[in-house]
Amino acid sequence: MRRLFANGDFTRLFAGRLVTNAGDSIYGVAAMWLVFSLTGSTFYTGLAGMLTLGMQLLQAFVGPLVDRWPLRRTLVATQAAQGVLVLAIPLADHLGVLSVWVVLTVMPLVSLLNQFTYPASSAALPRIVADPEDLTGANSLFAMTYQGAELVFNAAAGVLVALVGATALFLVDSVTFAAAVVLFAGIRVPPAEREAGDEAGYLAELVAGARFLRGSPVVWVLGAAVVANGLLGAAWPVLPAFAAERGDATLYGLLLSGLAGGTLVGSLLATRFRDVPFGRLSVIGFGLSGVAWLAALLVPGTAATVALFALAFVPVGVTNVVSMTLVQRLVPEAMLGRVLAVLGSGTTAAMPLGAFVGGVAGEAFGPVAVMYAGGVGFLWIVGYVLAVPALRRMPAATAVEAPDAPADDPGTGPAPAAATNAD
């Protein structure tokens, strides 16, 4: 880990991700609670979830752009644009025109810009980290920035919303985006090694990324993720109503922090599991997650509920890091941005529909009933992995290596071309 921070570009990328993840946490808590407080309805929080998560479906179309655009400029531009967008909500409040529709307009636009930010930073990481042996540790640190920020700032945002209201937090959020712009602007990202004859168009590269994924063992992960994410997506928009039944915005922040804290612990432990076969890791880990999630809904007391929710996400933190390393090792570097984007869209395809259905179901059956669907989502993964031989027998991330880029990839040609300019 110390060797990674000796790399100035990695340090700046890490710090930039930490700052922007902190801003995302503040924004996420404030926006969803603001929608619920303006309407008192899980239908509208479900609609907000659908609009926000629906932007993730566009990651597949973002991928070729991420691979072709300078990564540093992409990161700086998206952070600057998000910082401007979030200011629309306090401005509308100041002018007396704030409504749920203003929030529902800003939320998906901010989410759309995030579809560039995360693939770009993930694609930059293996270019900045020269030693492949350090990649799992680097991914673990990146996951730690995400979950660590959520752990601290979800709880803080929940307390602040209860004290000063949600609108004021958007001003704080704009400052985090400005700080991220400064950090990302100082990064030097080496260009990917592309091949001579790289003159393919956007559509051809998009198709090549999907074609590569279709022939890769990674594609089997999609089947589990689609159903599980749909069920988890249904649980997300009812969390404010669930917290309101048992407390207030403080409990909402604590629940989100518990989930982030569990994932953070798992991310820190991930390097201990990098040599464990991925199939075995998924079965045991997500079995534990499903049991802990369902138990959290049954036990009395805030502390026990938050603790069990945290425990449910420890295996998620482990598998997030290990699976990212698995993908980065299986995919040629020049195709990584578009493949990650297609994979991101595929794995989250069911979440927008799940969020909307969850909001409607919350109105009809209550938030607690919908929350049980989240636990079922984890147990679905266990059954799916056991039923699919390619997943059940999938080796450890450290036991696979990336193949050469496909000969018919329109982004490659017969001979390597020297890279001359860094981003």
Does a structural domain hold residue 421? no
| Nearest one of 376, 408, 91 to 231, comparing CA atoms | 376
Torsion of CA 37, 38, 39, 44, to 10 degrees: -90
Does a structural domain hold residue 422? no
Does a structural domain hold residue 143? yes
151-170: burial string, b at 16+ Cβ within 10 Å, e else: bbbbbbbbbbbbeeebbebb
Return the SS3 of 195. Answer: strand
Helix and strand totals (H; E) in the chain = 20, 0
C-alpha distances in Å from residue 151, one per residue of 17, 56, 136, 143, 254 = 15, 23, 22, 12, 8
Does a structural domain hold residue 415? no
Whether residue 419 contacts residue 190, with contact meaning beta carbons closer than 8 Å, is answered with yes
- Give, in degrees to the nearest 5, the angle at Cα 59 between 56 and 65: 150
| Nearest one of 129, 130, 133 to 121, comparing CA atoms | 129
- Give, in degrees to the nearest 5, the angle at Cα 141 between 215 and 71: 60
Does a structural domain hold residue 408? no
- Give, in degrees to the nearest 5, the angle at Cα 62 between 58 and 67: 160
Does a structural domain hold residue 194? no
| Nearest one of 49, 126, 112 to 361, comparing CA atoms | 49
Tally Cβ neighbours within 10 Å of residue 90: 18
CA-derived radius of gyration, the chain? 21
Predicted local distance difference test score (pLDDT) of residue 292: 94
Q: Say how far apart CA 95 and CA 260 lie, in whole Å.
A: 35
Q: Say how far apart CA 382 and CA 376 lie, in whole Å.
A: 10
pLDDT in tens, the chain (423 residues): 677 777 788 888 888 888 888 888 788 888 888 998 899 888 998 888 888 877 877 766 776 777 778 888 888 999 999 999 999 999 999 999 999 999 999 988 988 888 888 778 877 887 887 776 677 778 777 776 666 666 677 777 777 787 777 888 888 888 889 999 999 988 887 766 654 444 456 667 667 666 776 666 667 766 666 767 777 778 878 888 888 887 777 788 788 778 778 877 887 788 888 788 888 888 998 899 999 999 998 888 888 889 998 999 898 888 877 777 777 777 776 677 667 766 666 666 677 888 888 889 888 888 888 888 878 878 888 888 898 887 788 777 666 665 555 544 544 443 333 333 345
Does a structural domain hold residue 409? no
The total domain count for the chain is: 1
| Nearest one of 374, 421, 363 to 40, comparing CA atoms | 363
Q: Say how far apart CA 314 and CA 37 lie, in whole Å.
A: 31
CATH code of the domain containing 181: 1.20.1250.20
pTM confidence score? 0.65
Does a structural domain hold residue 306? yes
| Nearest one of 176, 315, 308 to 254, comparing CA atoms | 308
Q: Say how far apart CA 127 and CA 83 lie, in whole Å.
A: 27
State the residue range of the domain holding 281: 2-187+201-399
Tokens of 88: 């629309």
